[in-house]
Amino acid sequence: MAEAQAAPKIEICHLPPGNPENIQTISVSPSALEAHLDHGDGIGDCENNFAALTVYKEVVNDNDGNKTSSDFTMTVTKSNGDILTFPGSSSGTTILIPDGKYSVSEIPDSDYAIFSSLTCTGDASPLDVIQCTITNDDIDFDNFASLTVIKNVVNNDGGNKTASDFTMLVDAIEPSQTSFVGSNGTVVSISPGN
């Protein structure tokens, strides 16, 4: 009787828990694949396909706010169009992202200003180790004004872009957000003045 052949192993990019600087290509059996994918690994080798992105969520409550990092939902939009959401964490959440453009955002809370590091939007290359920090600071409404930014896109000449294909920039005194994905209405708090 012939011996049964083992199923061929599958090459994945493995993200070791707590050690995003050490992503590595490994081979696993088909029976172990689902468990690895559930823990954030990706199919394919790391060297040509993936970067490690760690998202940190900080919350400052110096004006009677009471929210914590986990009260905010983080959203990562990957270059392949996949969208991943997870609760914010001050200790950071690390995920694999495919090479190409990515962005990190959150659902705004009208009681908190949002400040994002420049690395929360960018173009990832394989084996990059990226850290993005989004900080929310509770707003002192007695000393802030409100600005609503609306991105309209007209595709009457064959274009197919949407508002979210554009990055909006705000240059003001202490804006609650300086950079964010276009939408049909994003409220930005700013200090009175120029």
Q: Which long-range contacts (CB under 8 A, 24 or more apart) does 172-178 make?
A: 172/147, 174/113, 174/144, 175/113, 175/147, 176/112, 176/113, 176/114, 176/115, 176/137, 176/139, 176/144, 177/108, 177/113, 177/114, 177/115, 177/116, 178/115, 178/116
The model's pLDDT over 47-90, given as tens digits with 9 standing for 90+, comes to 899 999 999 999 999 989 999 999 999 999 999 888 999 999 99
At 4 the pLDDT is 65
pLDDT for position 125 = 94
- The residue length of the chain stands at 194
Q: What percent of the chain has pLDDT over 70?
A: 97
- Alpha carbon 20 to chain centroid, angstroms: 15
Please name each of the domains of the chain with its CATH number. Answer: 10-139 (2.60.40.10), 140-194 (no CATH)
- Tell me which long-range contacts 169-175 makes (C-beta under 8 A, separation of at least 24): 172/147, 174/113, 174/144, 175/113, 175/147
* SS3 track for 10-63: EEEEECCCCCHHHCEEEEECHHHHHHHHHCCCEECCHHHHEEEEEEEEEEECCC
Is pTM beyond 0.75? Reply is: no
- Between the alpha carbon of residue 30 and those of residues 6, 8, 9, 24, 38, the distances in Å are 10, 8, 6, 18, 14
Give per-residue pLDDT as tens, 106-153.
988 888 888 888 899 999 999 999 999 999 999 887 777 888 899 999
Q: What is the pLDDT of residue 3?
A: 66
Q: What is d(CA 58, CA 130) in angstroms, rounded to the nearest whole number?
A: 17
